[in-house]
Structure formats: C-alpha cells, structure tokens
Amino acid sequence: MSTRKSSARPRPSTWPRRKKPTRSRPTIRSGCGSGSGASSRRISRSSTRPEDGPRAVRVALFTNNYVPFCGGVTTSVETLRRGLETRGHEAWVFAPRFRAGAADGPRVVRYPSIPAATYPEFALAVPFAPAISRRVRRLDVDVFHAHHPFLLGPAARRLARRQRRPLVFTYHTRYDKYAHYVPFRRSLVEDVAVRLSTRFAAGADAVIAPSRVIRDELLGRGVSAPIAVVPTGVDLTRFRPGDAAAARWELGLDPRDVVVLYVGRLDREKSVDRILLAFERVAGTVPRARLVVVGDGTQGDELRRRAGRSAISERVTFLGVRPHDTLPICYQAADLFVFASETETQGLVLAEAAACGLPAVAVAGPGCDEVVRDGETGVLTKGDPGGLAEAVIGVLLDAERRALMGTRAREVAEREFDMRLQVDRTLAVYEIARSRVAGHPR
C-alpha cells in the first residue's frame, strides 16, 4: 500500500419591483470572514452590472459546508458561486470558520464556530452573530439561498423573513443517513432529521432537489412549495478527457496498471470498506489492477490499516485529500470509477467522472442511478462486495466496452451536467421564489 499527500441594471419584466429603500447604501468591508485587512468601500449594484442581459441578482448563499472542508455540498456551493459571478451576478457566501482556515475572497463571510465533537474537522457555526446580521441587512440581498435546514439555514430564513426577501432551499443531504454522527438514539435522530428538514423545505419559497428521487421524497412528505430538480453541475472545460499517460506520470502511477479510482470522503456512509473487500477479488482476477483512493475522513486511518494488512497492500494507493481543481487528472489517469455509497442525493463525483470520459460501477441506489446509465455509461449493481467485484471485473476485462461507455458518459455529462445548466435553472428558481414573495408577502 502506498500513501501520498497532495498538496442600475435592467430588470426582467417578470421580476416584481420592490420599493426602493429610503436610506442610502451603507459602507461595508470588502474583506470578511478570516480577518483580512481590506479597506472599506461602498457596495453599489452598478459595480456588478453586466454589459448586456437582465439585472444582476445579489444572492446570499448560506452553507454549513465550505472550503477548506471537502465534500459535495462545498463543491456545489462553490460551483454555483463561480457560475453566478461569471454571469455578472453577485454571490455572497456565509459559512462557518473552519480550524484549517482558507484563503477567502472578498464576498465570503465567516461565522464563529466550534468543532464538532464526533467529527473534529467539521465546524459547527454559531448562527447568532449580530454583526453579520447587520452586514447582511446592509447588503440589500435579492435572494437568500440556504443549503442546510440546520444552523445557518434557519439564520438565512430569519434574515429573509425580516427583510421580506425570498428563501430558496437546496435539499443536498439525506440527513437521516448521518444519524450515527449524533450521540443519541439513532432511530430518534433519524426521525427528528426527517421532520426538521421536511418542515424547513415546506417553509421555503422554492426548493431545489439535486435529483428526481429527492423531489419525489419531498412531495411524498407533503411539501407544497415549488420543487425544481437541479443537479449540481460540472465545469466541462476543466473536467474533460485527457492524456492518461501524462496524468499517471503526474500522480506517480505505473502506466501499465489498470486503475480503479474512488474519489470522496472516507466516512462510514460512503462504504469505502466495501470497495476494499471487492478489490481483493478484483486483484485476484485482473493482474495489473490497482485501486487509487482520493480523499480522507473519519475512517481514513482505519481503511489504510486494513489495506496495509491485506493481501492487496501493494496494489492500493491512497493519495489523500487533493484540491478540487486538481481532481481532473485523477479521473483522467483512471480506467474505471467505483462508488459504493447508498446515501446520495446525486453522487456528484459520478458526474465528474462522466465528464472526464470515465465509466463507473456504482450501487443502484437513489441519486446514483440518475447519473450512471446501467449498461450504457457504466454498471449499476448491488451494494455487496461480491456484486461490486463482479461488475468491476466485467468492465475491466472488456476494453472495447469500457471505451464505449466512457464516450457515452461524456455525452451524458455534456447534455445533463454542464454547470451552465445549473446556473440557468437556479436563476429560474430564484425568479419563481421572488414572484411568490411579491404575490404573497409574509
């Protein structure tokens, strides 16, 4: 086993005009969150006016997960932020301050936080921060977009209601599947998580579901707010097929190996232990097979020890956590992507792999089956190690089939997971939410 560490705008006529504030635009700091010493400047909407197109929107994105913490929600929020900014809109991120710190931009505001007892790398925001609330009010936000129903989600809701602005909520996570992180009776935590997240969704002006299965679950729970299916997008200019030999040289991998890749957190709910068990069988059938694991988490040390004690210790490489913008070479270096999680709302890494022309073997679970087309872009299988191993072996031993699946995977990514589609669809949801608030002021 080897381990390496990485290093005044025209507004669309369909959007209602709101009454102009009687007070002048206040002065706020452009640097925020991490204590940067940026000078004060006056924020004016003309500073973000697109040269053409509709009036730019000022959005406040409230998230409990953000850089430097790695995960799908962090990636989704950052992808949306960059996409909105590219269009000339103004996106502010409100997130907890993490112990590891981060090089924040001028529109990132950090809430004070405490480390989570059961996950020290994760920060729990302290949502009652009067100075930040005053800053938000001065920003004169158009739309509040909450990415969680807890902690900073209710903070966004409170501010939205006080300012009579719309609240949009993205239901990123199957919260009941994370009950093991809370030190109480699991069944109770699962029930409370479902009830609270459903109630939060029902109270939003519009809801975004990353997949059809999440939309259907929310509808089944009685959520009557408008629900739009908007998968998190992928930057197809960065995540694309590339030179496998060059990528392997960059990562220190043997060009003769047949590389099976996993990217994601090494936490219980991701079921990476099943991948290790499955790979023991794969290694016995495919002589040059190598498993490459990118990421880390609460089970990282345990998984590395388990791999080190096994018969496949020399055929498993742990690359550790890598910055998101370096992930494309990991996908480009691989022959097949494998994913065993059954707790997903979308399975964003599956979309990233597809964008890089990489076929996938994944568990036939919610979310994943909306990214992987069984028999076309990959294989969906049962979650047991035997089923995973059989599917992986079948794809690895048929190079022609594998190449065709990779080509089709890229086509699906271009058609369905382009980040520009995410931005378009999200802006449409913002418009729906604004219209609802204008027609039914709270």
**31 neighbors 41 (Cβ within 8 angstroms):** no
pTM of the predicted structure, to 2 decimals = 0.84
Where is mean pLDDT largest: 17-21, 200-204, 363-367?
200-204
**Sorting pLDDT into bands at 50, 70 and 90, what band is 43?**
very low
More confident residue, 99 or 270: 270
Query: What's the pLDDT score for residue 190?
Result: 81
What is the separation of C-alpha 304 from the centre of its chain, rounded to a whole number of angstroms? 25
Quick one: pLDDT at residue 34?
34
Q: How confident is the model over 37-60, as a mean pLDDT?
A: 54
Band (pLDDT 50/70/90 cuts) for residue 10 is very low
CA 371 – CA 318 distance, rounded (Å): 25
Mean pLDDT of 247-273: 97
Q: Is the pLDDT reported for residue 7 higher than 70?
A: no
The answer to whether residue 170 scores a pLDDT higher than 80 is: yes
Q: Which two tokens stand for residue 204?
A: 């939003």
Rounded to the nearest 5 degrees, what angle is found at the Cα of 368, between the Cα atoms of 150 and 425? 65
Query: Which residues, 6+ apart, have CB-to-CB distance to 32 below 8 Å?
Result: 104, 106, 107, 108, 109, 110, 135
pLDDT at 140 over 80: yes
What's the pLDDT score for residue 1?
67
Amino acid at 70: C
Query: What's the N-to-C CA distance of the chain in angstroms?
Result: 59
Answer with the residue of higher pLDDT: 33 or 253. 253
Please state, in angstroms and rounded to a whole number, the distance separating the CA atoms of residues 41 and 29: 6
pLDDT band at 186 (very low <50, low <70, confident <90, very high): confident
The contacts of residue 271 (CB under 8 Å, 6+ apart) are 340, 341, 342, 363, 383
129: Cβ contacts below 8 Å, ≥ 6 apart: 111, 112
**CA pair distance 332, 241, nearest whole angstrom:** 6
Best CA proximity match to 177, nearest among 423, 404, 366: 366
- Model pLDDT for residues 384-424, shown as the tens digit of each residue: 999 999 999 999 999 999 999 999 999 999 999 999 999 99
Q: What pLDDT score does 54 carry?
A: 62
Distance CA 257, CA 291 (A): 10
> What tens digit of pLDDT does each residue of 304-326 get?
999 999 999 999 999 999 999 99
Give the chain's mean pLDDT. 88
pLDDT score of 109: 97
- The predicted model gives 268-293 an average pLDDT of 97
31 or 257, higher pLDDT: 257
**What pLDDT shows up at residue 33?**
33
Whole-number pLDDT of residue 421: 98
251 pLDDT exceeds 80?
A: yes
Quote the pLDDT of residue 182: 76
Domains identified in the chain and CATH numbers: 8-15+26-233+419-439 (3.40.50.2000), 244-416 (3.40.50.2000)
Q: Render 299-328 in DSSP notation, one character per residue.
A: THHHHHHHHHHSTTGGGEEEEE---GGGHH
pLDDT of residue 15: 46
- How many Å apart are CA 234 and CA 414, to the nearest integer? 9
In this prediction, residues 177-188 reach a mean pLDDT of 75
In this predicted structure, the answer to whether residue 117 has a pLDDT above a threshold of 90 is: no
In this prediction, residue 198 carries a pLDDT of 96
Residue 205: which H helix or E strand, with range?
A: none
253 within 8 A of 214, measured Cβ to Cβ: no
